[in-house]
Amino acid sequence: MRVDGKGLIDRTKPVRFRFDGKDYAGYKGDTLASALLANDVRLVGRSFKYHRPRGVLTAGSEEPNALVEVVGPSNQTPNVRATMQEVFEGLVAQSQNRLGSLRFDLMAVNDYLSPFLSAGFYYKTFMWPRAFWEGLYEPLIRRAAGLGSLSGKHDEGTYEKAFAFCDVLVIGSGPAGLMAALTAGRAGADVILCEESHVLGGRLLSDGGTIGGQPAGEWVASVLAELQALPNVRIMARTTVTGAYDHGTYGALERVGLHKPARPNLPRECFWRIVAKHAVLAAGALERPVAFENNDRPGIMMASAVRTYLNRYGVVPGKRVTLFANTDQARGVARELMAAGVTMAAIIDPRPDASAVEDCPVHVGAEVVGSRGRLGLSGIQVRKGSEIIEIETDCLAMSGGWNPTIHLTCHMNGRPRWSEDLAAFVPMEGAVPGLVAVGAANGSFSTHGALATGHAAGMKAVEALGRKVSVPVPEAEDMPYRLKALWAVEGKGRAWLDFANDVTTKDVKLAAQEGFRSVEHMKRYTTQGMAPDQGKNSNVAALAVLADATGRGIAETGVTTFRPPYTPVSIAAMGAGGRAEGFAPQRFLTSDQASRDRGAPMIEAGLWYRPSYFPKPGETTWREACDREVNMVRQAVGVADVSTLGKIDIQGRDAGKFLDFVYTNTFSTLPVGRVRYGLMLREDGLVLDDGTSARLGENHYLMTTTTAAAGLVMRHLDFVHQAFCADWQVRFISVTESWAQFAVAGPKARGLVNSFLETPVELPFMGVAPVRIGGVDGRLFRISFSGEEGYELAVPTRYGEALFRDLVARAETMGGGPYGMEALNVLRIEKGFITHAEIHGRVTAHDIGMEKMVSAKKDCIGKAAATRPGMWGPEREQLVGLKASAPISAGAHLFVPGAEVHRETDQGYVTSICWSPTVGAWLGLGFLKDGRARLGEKVRLVDHLRGLDVICEVCHPVFHDPDGEKLRA
């Protein structure tokens, strides 16, 4: 019900929205919760386990009950707190966790079964028979479990992430936060002020009062005006600081577009990483419920929430309101309700010595012991001494005191301190370096306390920053906080602690009784604190009940750990920009467009996109294209873009010495103008990478790495250089991106290459020479990864596309053309050339038959470890070729024919396979125990995943041109 003259909503701007299929009206500035309450909608959800009717409990992000699904054009967001969701024109929301309608939830039968569904029910019940678990129990539980539902489609919404830096981060904009921000801001410090709500001011907006003689609202407005005018202050509304991390890093979630109709490019949320030299936690406190029988009915709310709905939204959630509270602070709501013309049916205060000045029935030394009303509160039972009083009421405002919002102070493993005076946990000072808790978050509950501590924290930061400022602390109320701790009212029925997860005082007592006496065990056994609110409304009360049940004090019982995030953060926001192609950078070749123009499907090779094959008209499978391309290279000439190989330019008088140190073989003796194949080990003796290195000048080398290991090798070279020989005359830099490089291979390769050169050259095998091509300086290498006479022609990258198109066009006039990764792979398998499929990180030089490449004449990285026992010898799996007449697979394992197939009899495995059009058989490379001594033997290849069982012949890995006559032609 709306009351006149109250609230910060804009009554000139009505907003229409829909809840559970029905249209309602609210105002701009309303939350979904306030707008529903204004429309007298009390039932908004069902509880998790018993499907009990639930209404709005709070007015903040801690809300455990009013969780709804918001339905958007491209997504459906579950578990949205109705207390945080602002209404906007066209908002569509629906209740969740129900079967059928909200009023007649079929799952409510669980409530009648509750005697059987106590804590530990699942653990005890679904243990046996074991076979039932996967087929029956799990699907059943899964269907019943969980709260909201998703759309089942990709979330096409826009999400953002951002980084921010500041001197002082102020978390919360109540009196403490505003005072801290004002102090630091006036001093000229770089300030970020984050406020979770859409309006700044915190509890001052709900509680009113005066500050420095001004009404609180006016004071807030004047401070905000000053802060907004300061260029060094950034105000971030709708932003929840969700986590405190090492070295002044904080996570924060901003609701950017959730309060508006979706529109293109407008982010729904932004996840901020904020780095702050100092932080002030002014997050306030959370009011705590009291456990009594049936304290979970719609209409029973937190007293502070009733006050917020009245003063911020002009909404009264009932016609006959009652108040059950154990502090003087909570009385304010009763006085304000009466002033607004609402009937206060009674005030119930458990403190026997409490005052009774309000102009309504006040029962001191009394407790609420029960409630009635099926879908909403209609009355309560109050126990006063031995007497039980029935009171008619449709809204009970309750308060069991306050818990400081200490969560962030515990995010780095800090433990809070129990304060007997406040009957609450308060932050341990210094638990998060650089972060100071102030105001209610630190147990200073009065307005004066908030202003004074906020000011002090602001001053402390200002001084640490070497700045000066003088800001007076304005006068404000300084009411003492005096309460009688009341967690649970004595009684027999079910009294709720955790509303969201349906955990009652009985469950906690049962946990204690069954031996789960540690707070961590109790939590897991009862699921208390494991709902979306993460126990914000129930943790302290639950452990107080546990402490009582186990006969210990609360301090001794301790709390469970608060971990980030403070409120849920959508994965979409945290991973903003990382969906689909955003996951990693895409690297494109200069030939990319030319390849796509020819219809080549592109495949990912690391971050690179490379052509898989180049289909010709009439070809229906990739294999047809691949076979044709292989034959084309073997019989005429093929062109492939190999620019993805890592290229490292190495210069200096000690360059040769450096290469000798990182490669197993010797490069200092390589003549200028020649290329050598090199093998690189890790220090543990396993193969790191291989590639060719060319000597371009006396003190100038060009190393190539595999595509896959380019970054890895660079990091390795940097390490070896900086750790062991920083004083050598050698420097190196990646030139991978500087050169476009094309392989030209086949019997007609020489003719094709020379037709491009201004001055044709006769290069020996493994030679390199500078060339002029199309008016550009390039390089020509005679190297081969196909087994045919092969060249690689390199030009500065800007000319890559032009050269590729020309090379391909001219190759086609010679019966050749482009070839893709599939053909490239077949060509190298036929020739027994290895890639990282073979040098996968577990093989030694010996395993791949290259032990002779480890020079005996010099030290190198990995040499010592490579000679250790176990790194070589017949017991190791060695590289072999495999030949079969039926399809085989990479990943298959090898066995002796006739032997049993299991782990103990495993003889090796297959790393690469292909159909070889050249040999006319299926070929593979793999590793076989003592393989080199077993050439000619038959092995059984088994792949259970693909259902293969094939007899193969063990061969030398080089199937094609074993003597290298073609290479050297």
Residues 435-494 that bind other proteins (CB under 8 A): none
Distance CA 305, CA 287 (A): 9
Q: How far is the CB of 318 from other proteins (least distance, A)?
A: 31
Choosing from 380, 633, 730, 880, the residue that interacts with other proteins (CB under 8 A) is: 730
585 is a contact residue toward other proteins (CB under 8 A): yes
190 is a contact residue toward other proteins (CB under 8 A): yes
Choosing from 801, 906, 930, 937, the residue that interacts with other proteins (CB under 8 A) is: 801
SS3 state at 81:
strand
Number of residues binding to other proteins, judged by CB under 8 A: 86
- Residue 920 CB contacts under 8 Å (≥ 6 apart), including other chains: none
Binding segment for other proteins (CB under 8 A), chosen from 112-120, 207-215, 728-736, 952-960, is 728-736
651 is a contact residue toward other proteins (CB under 8 A): yes
Q: Supply 447's token pair.
A: 């307005």
248 is a contact residue toward other proteins (CB under 8 A): yes
Choosing from 96, 534, 736, 907, the residue that interacts with other proteins (CB under 8 A) is: 736
Q: Supply 627's token pair.
A: 């076979």
> Is residue 64 within a helix (H) or strand (E), and if so which, with residue range?
none
% helix / strand / coil in the chain, to the nearest 5? 25, 30, 45
Choosing from 722, 857, 875, 902, the residue that interacts with other proteins (CB under 8 A) is: 722
In the complex with other proteins, the residue whose CB is nearer, 374 or 731, is 731
Residues 631-650 within binding reach of other proteins (CB under 8 A): 649
Choosing from 584, 886, 899, 933, the residue that interacts with other proteins (CB under 8 A) is: 584
SS3 state at 853:
helix
Strands 159-171 and 191-194: parallel
738 is a contact residue toward other proteins (CB under 8 A): yes
Residues 361-400 within binding reach of other proteins (CB under 8 A): none
249 is a contact residue toward other proteins (CB under 8 A): yes
Choosing from 215, 599, 796, 841, the residue that interacts with other proteins (CB under 8 A) is: 796
Q: How far is the CB of 13 from other proteins (least distance, A)?
A: 11
In the complex with other proteins, the residue whose CB is nearer, 731 or 938, is 731
802 is a contact residue toward other proteins (CB under 8 A): yes
Q: How far is the CB of 841 from other proteins (least distance, A)?
A: 15
Nearest-10 crossing angle of helices 331-339, 303-313: 40
Q: What is the 3-state secondary structure (H, E, C) of 639-655?
A: EEECCCCEEEEEECCCH
Residue 531 CA: distances (Å) to CA of 48, 105, 535, 636: 9, 20, 7, 68
Q: How far is the CB of 737 from other proteins (least distance, A)?
A: 4
775 is a contact residue toward other proteins (CB under 8 A): yes
587 is a contact residue toward other proteins (CB under 8 A): yes
589 is a contact residue toward other proteins (CB under 8 A): yes
Q: Supply 533's token pair.
A: 């609110």
Going by C-alpha positions, the residue among 110, 452, 39 that lies closest to residue 282 is 452
Distance CA 183, CA 470 (A): 8
561 is a contact residue toward other proteins (CB under 8 A): no
In the complex with other proteins, the residue whose CB is nearer, 57 or 410, is 410
DSSP states of 866-926: HTSTTSSSTTSEEEEEEEESS---TT-EEE-TTS--SGGG--EEEEEEEEETTTTEEEEEE
Q: Are the C-beta atoms of 129 and 419 separated by less than 8 Å?
A: no
Name the E strands within 672-775: 675-681, 687-697, 700-705, 731-734, 739-745, 768-773
> Is residue 288 within a helix (H) or strand (E), and if so which, with residue range?
none
Rg (CA), the chain: 37
797 is a contact residue toward other proteins (CB under 8 A): yes
Distance CA 53, CA 116 (A): 19
Q: How far is the CB of 793 from other proteins (least distance, A)?
A: 11
Q: How far is the CB of 779 from other proteins (least distance, A)?
A: 12
Residues 665-704 within binding reach of other proteins (CB under 8 A): 683-684
Give the x-and-dash track for 198-237 against other proteins (CB under 8 A).
Answer: ----------------------------------------
How buried is residue 806: exposed, middle or buried, by Cβ count under 10 Å (0-12/13-18/19+)? middle
Choosing from 121, 245, 765, 915, the residue that interacts with other proteins (CB under 8 A) is: 245
- Residue 57 CB contacts under 8 Å (≥ 6 apart), including other chains: 63, 64, 65, 66, 289, 300, 301, 302, 305, 499, 537
Choosing from 115, 134, 142, 163, the residue that interacts with other proteins (CB under 8 A) is: 163
Distance CA 646, CA 710 (A): 5
Strands 790-796 and 91-95: unpaired
Q: What is the 3-state secondary structure (H, E, C) of 188-213?
A: CCCEEEECCCCCCCCCHHHHCCEECC
Choosing from 92, 217, 273, 956, the residue that interacts with other proteins (CB under 8 A) is: 273
In the complex with other proteins, the residue whose CB is nearer, 21 or 870, is 870
Choosing from 729, 813, 885, 905, the residue that interacts with other proteins (CB under 8 A) is: 729
In the complex with other proteins, the residue whose CB is nearer, 526 or 704, is 704
Residues 499-518 within binding reach of other proteins (CB under 8 A): none
Binding segment for other proteins (CB under 8 A), chosen from 247-255, 461-469, 520-528, 532-540, is 247-255
608 is a contact residue toward other proteins (CB under 8 A): yes
761 is a contact residue toward other proteins (CB under 8 A): no
Choosing from 103, 372, 616, 731, the residue that interacts with other proteins (CB under 8 A) is: 731
Choosing from 78, 172, 174, 257, the residue that interacts with other proteins (CB under 8 A) is: 257
φ, ψ (nearest 5 deg) of residue 864 = -60, -45
333 is a contact residue toward other proteins (CB under 8 A): no
Choosing from 80, 170, 256, 569, the residue that interacts with other proteins (CB under 8 A) is: 256
The amino acid at 49: K
865 is a contact residue toward other proteins (CB under 8 A): yes
Choosing from 149, 561, 586, 621, the residue that interacts with other proteins (CB under 8 A) is: 586
Going by C-alpha positions, the residue among 46, 41, 65, 44 that lies closest to residue 111 is 46
Binding segment for other proteins (CB under 8 A), chosen from 91-99, 243-251, 347-355, 763-771, is 243-251
732 is a contact residue toward other proteins (CB under 8 A): yes
Binding segment for other proteins (CB under 8 A), chosen from 446-454, 730-738, 785-793, 897-905, is 730-738
Name the E strands within 373-482: 379-384, 387-392, 395-399, 402-404, 417-419, 424-426, 435-437
Q: Supply 152's token pair.
A: 């089942």
Q: Supply 103's token pair.
A: 């009023």
Residues 866-895 within binding reach of other proteins (CB under 8 A): 868
Q: Supply 155's token pair.
A: 């979330």
Choosing from 758, 840, 946, 964, the residue that interacts with other proteins (CB under 8 A) is: 758
Residues 412-431 within binding reach of other proteins (CB under 8 A): 412
Distance CA 55, CA 41 (A): 9
Choosing from 229, 726, 856, 945, the residue that interacts with other proteins (CB under 8 A) is: 726
In the complex with other proteins, the residue whose CB is nearer, 418 or 799, is 799
Q: Supply 541's token pair.
A: 């009360």
Choosing from 16, 372, 715, 946, the residue that interacts with other proteins (CB under 8 A) is: 715
In the complex with other proteins, the residue whose CB is nearer, 86 or 533, is 86
Binding segment for other proteins (CB under 8 A), chosen from 132-140, 144-152, 711-719, 833-841, is 711-719
